[in-house]
Structure 1
Amino acid sequence: MHALIIVDVQYDFLSGGALAVPHGDEVITVINRIQEDYDLVVATQDWHPVGHKSFASVHPGMRPFDVIELAGQEQVLWPDHCVQGTAGARLSDQLDPCRIEAIFRKGTELDIDSYSGFFDNGKRKNTGLAGYLRDREVSVVSVCGLAADYCVYFTAMDALQLGFDTHIIEDAVRAIDGTAYAVKRAAFLQQGGKLFGE
């Protein structure tokens, strides 16, 4: 079984959003077109509580994109985004939901971030995604969505480490920082990951 994992196609990561990924809206048409090619389609959703510790606004004197240590991990501070129950946290209405069988929420713990769709950044808790895929005998996953250099990358790397044959769909991802993504993309390939749409 081959699963498509759609990562964080939410309003706050799209044009006009609190943490808009440059050209992020461009992935939606591609993702809608390719969903029918997969046996299973799932999505992830960034779902932060108010006052999440990854928000620059809760650290006096700090600004978005400053770096601190949080729960023993290096943490980039972000603008407030994808707060539970807000419009910005919703999956885009332009994303075709018909084939999405399950949505896995991440970033729900106040004191630790979660880039990966599988685990929080400290790997203290899992989201249930790996078990869901294994229960459905998925062996191959393709990852798409936003942002390529953060949540897509960490989801893909965890999928590799969990033993899934893992692909990133290049035409269906966009990065916050293209240079950073190029470095992470190389690391993904070095670990045995594959790319579609080169």
Structure 2
Amino acid sequence: MFGNSKFFNQYPGKDITEADIKRIFQTFDANKDNALDKAEVKNLVESIATSGSLSAAELDKIYAFLDKDKDGLVSPSDMAARALPWLSVIFSGPVAMVIVDVQNDFITGSLALKVYPAKEDGANVVPVINDVIAKHSAAFKTVIYSLDWHPADHISFLDNLAKRKLSDKSKIKDAAKVGLNDVVVLETKAYGPIEQIMWPRHCVQNSSGAELHSELKLAGNHTKVYKGTDPDIDSYSAFWDNNKLKKTDLHDRLSKLGISDLIVCGLATDVCVGSTAAHAQELGYRTALLEDACCGVMPDGIAATKAKLTAAHGVVVRSGQLNELLAKRDRPMAWVLAAVDCVEKLANGGH
């Protein structure tokens, strides 16, 4: 924490009002000129955050956001228009949890993660997720469980390759030479050439492999999202397919609930979890990756997923840190900054 760090201890979990904004403005208007200059806004932002640092470029972005009338100063009317929704996200933004693909085939079945290079056993996420649900379900406005839900003729299955046509754009030209995890380009009637990683048959609709792990607890306020249902395109993310041609209804559900913050976990970190988190950030959600409730495929891919998330003002946390984060007492600078993206995309209809 920096600046007037104790001032904001009164606000976690509180609905921010116009009276609060007026008081905050008066507190941080150090020279009492009825405007906040950049140094005063810097003090304000650094007082909100409980960890992390603020770069000059990040300060410029927040200052430009708060200066609604673009006159070079942040006035009381600017604060009322911009700081009210921004601080509302930071101190009382509704939270949802998205649990990605904790299904049998990724744990003990045809795509069991423990046999891949990262050697991470997908079963290990189950008790962590169950503990989070037991301790924190009241903090989540909803809990979403996504499921890979493929038709038997899905494009990603290597054993379906003989029924499909390799595109001229595919680097591998001979179908007989295509193996598991190879990348090819396949022709589809609906979408034209589609690039695809070849996987073993997995998570076929209504199969035991597609079921959620038997020991995974379902939150009382949960719903499910089914993805990968189109035979001609894969869908790692719980929001969109891999080419963003079709979307699930997840974003619509979250928007109707006014969700601003997402806790994302599940299988696999560097595939479906990472894609879901990236799309969540693109839509404007403040996104946290719950790393001890995730398992991945490739060590480099796991590291890259975390780096991409944090570069876009996401945070990587462990379950033991959730209590303070969900209570808004832990306010990483990344999430203070991400609240600006959240408000801007709400205003533009993107979220």
Interval of TM-score (by shorter of Structure 1 and Structure 2) = over 0.9
1:13 aligns with 2:106: yes
d(CA) in 1 for partners of 2:207 and 2:259?
Answer: 32
Contact 1:114 1:120 in 2 (8 A): yes
Q: Give the CA deviation at 1:100.
A: 5.0
Q: Give the CA deviation at 1:32.
A: 0.5
Partner of 2:131: 33
Q: Give the CA deviation at 1:73.
A: 4.8
Q: How far does the alpha carbon of each residue in 1:28-59 deviate from its partner, in whole angstroms, 9 at most, with x for none?
A: 00001112423121110000000201111111
Q: How far does the alpha carbon of each residue in 1:90-136 deviate from its partner, in whole angstroms, 9 at most, with x for none?
A: 11111001335210000000000000000111111111001101111
More strand by share: 1
Contact 2:143 2:219 in 1 (8 A): no
Identify the match of residue 116 of structure 1 among 222, 228, 237: 237
Partner of 1:180: 301
SS in 2 for 1:59: helix
Q: How far does the alpha carbon of each residue in 1:155-175 deviate from its partner, in whole angstroms, 9 at most, with x for none?
A: 000000000000100100000
Contact 1:43 1:100 in 2 (8 A): no
Count of residue pairs brought into register by the alignment: 197
d(CA) in 2 for partners of 1:178 and 1:99?
Answer: 34
Identify the match of residue 255 of structure 2 among 118, 129, 134: 134
Amino acid at match of 2:310: L
Pairing 1:47-126 to 2, within 5 Å after superposition:
47-60=149-162, 61=176, 62-70=178-186, 72-99=193-220, 101-126=222-247
d(CA) in 1 for partners of 2:233 and 2:271?
Answer: 15
What TM-score, normalized by structure 2, do the two folds share?
0.54
Percent of aligned pairs with the same amino acid: 39
Amino acid at match of 1:6: I
d(CA) in 1 for partners of 2:195 and 2:301?
Answer: 16
Contact 1:73 1:121 in 2 (8 A): no
SS in 1 for 2:122: coil
What TM-score, normalized by structure 1, do the two folds share?
0.95
Q: CA RMSD in A?
A: 1.4
More helix by share: 2
d(CA) in 2 for partners of 1:165 and 1:103?
Answer: 21
Structure number with the bigger relative contact order (C-alpha 8 A, sep ≥ 6) is 1
1:46 aligns with 2:151: no
Structure 1, gaps ≥5 residues long: none
